[in-house]
Amino acid sequence: MSLLVDLDPRLSALRPLGGFFALRACGPPPRPFVPLAQVYGPTPPEAGPDPLAFRVRKVEEALRAPATRVAVSVAHQGLAARLWSAALGCAVLYGRVPDLDPRLLHWDPGAAAPDDLWLTEVRPHSGDMRDVSDTSGEGTAAVLVSAVLRAHLVPLAAALRARYRVAAGLLRGNTASALAGAARELDRWARAHGRPDAAAHVRSVTAGLLDHPLLAGTGTLTGTAFRRRSCCLYYRVPGGGVCGDCCFPSPPGSVSQSP
């Protein structure tokens, strides 16, 4: 895959992909955001607002979730999807991944995409960017493991497990599902815009990421279709039902549930 252009200060190449992929960038945010480095603690901050708890409450109220852990799961998957989408979009369209250090990437827990994330400085990730153009996708996957999985989603999951006692398998499944969903949308966009190279690259990168030890065993990827081995609990939301990649064919306990 040939590289396009260097990362521009506003990451403008992401905008045609839609708001869920877009990442606000360039300089300090225009309103109070919190660095994600301050979000991932195992306990709430001793002083000031708790953005993670605020987000969980916001989701819980919006969905009328019957249990807090349902809101935790949905909130987790939403933030995971935003992180994967922005990073994967950059990797495919620019051929490189920006440095998403949690101290540089700021979050507004009360906002929706694309106004929830703000990158204060756009610079390439410190990984070997020469490998990102490898058509096998291995170089890109390695950088994304560092930039997204290890820097964000591992500490986020640890914080949610410590605070809310949610299952590790559920959060791993959410992480994989969010990745597969972002990849599917990016693949669809690439094919619709005559970019078979980008579509092929995103597929190879996604397959490599799902084979990584941090995500291996979370589900099965067939083309761009993913079937996870865990459930995000969305079926418990009033009127929610099961997601397209759920391990259950119908909500547990329903009449149509297969044995």
Cβ burial of 137 (10 Å; 0-12, 13-18, 19+) is buried
- State which residues of the chain have pLDDT below 70: 1-5, 128-136, 254-259
Q: Is residue 133 part of a domain?
A: yes
Q: Is residue 54 part of a domain?
A: yes
Number of folded domains that form the chain: 1
Q: Is residue 244 part of a domain?
A: no
What is the value of pTM for the model shown? 0.92
Residues 6 or more apart whose Cβ sits within 8 Å of residue 163:
42, 43, 44, 52, 53
What share of the chain in percent tops pLDDT 90?
Answer: 77
Q: Is residue 85 part of a domain?
A: yes
pLDDT of 205-241, one tens digit each? 999 999 999 999 999 999 999 999 999 999 999 998 9
pLDDT at 66: 95
pLDDT at 132: 47
pLDDT at 2: 40
pLDDT at 38: 93
Q: Is 45 left (phi over 0), alpha (psi -120 to 50) or beta?
A: beta
Domain span including residue 63: 12-221
Q: Is residue 126 part of a domain?
A: yes
Q: Is residue 115 part of a domain?
A: yes
- What is the spatial distance between Cα 42 and Cα 155, in angstroms, rounded to a whole number? 9
Q: Is residue 237 part of a domain?
A: no
Q: Is residue 45 part of a domain?
A: yes
